[in-house]
Amino acid sequence: MTATAYRVACQTSGCRSAAIVLCCFPVTRNGRAATCNRHVCSGCASPDRFCPPHARAGADSLVTICSACYCSSCVHGEHPCAAPGKPRRVTVAQWKTLLSFGVL
């Protein structure tokens, strides 16, 4: 018997490229923590290895940050900054942009 390799197609709508990763977005399945595990090609996967629907969901979710230092732990009282500002709600994508410009 010989082993035959088969190609798993990307499960993104309209894409038929070969899948190379499984979506690692955290989900709850049957009351237990799990990952999405949708087959995704390199062109459709986000840098975080999420499928397109979960990449959009992750980017659209809101985070509460300090308007002075842009840190989320400051708002929740874990590590308050020297001059805390008002809590501010931003998307994860906006927060990553603020952090990428060297604000922290």
**pLDDT tens digits, one per residue of 49-88:** 889 998 888 767 767 888 777 777 776 666 667 777 788 7
C-alpha 40/C-alpha 72 separation (Å) is 31
Residue with tokens 């509460």: 64
pLDDT interval class at 104 (50, 70, 90): very low
pTM above 0.75, yes or no: no
pLDDT(12) > 80: yes
C-alpha 15/C-alpha 55 separation (Å) is 16
Q: Which residue has the higher pLDDT, 59 or 4?
A: 59
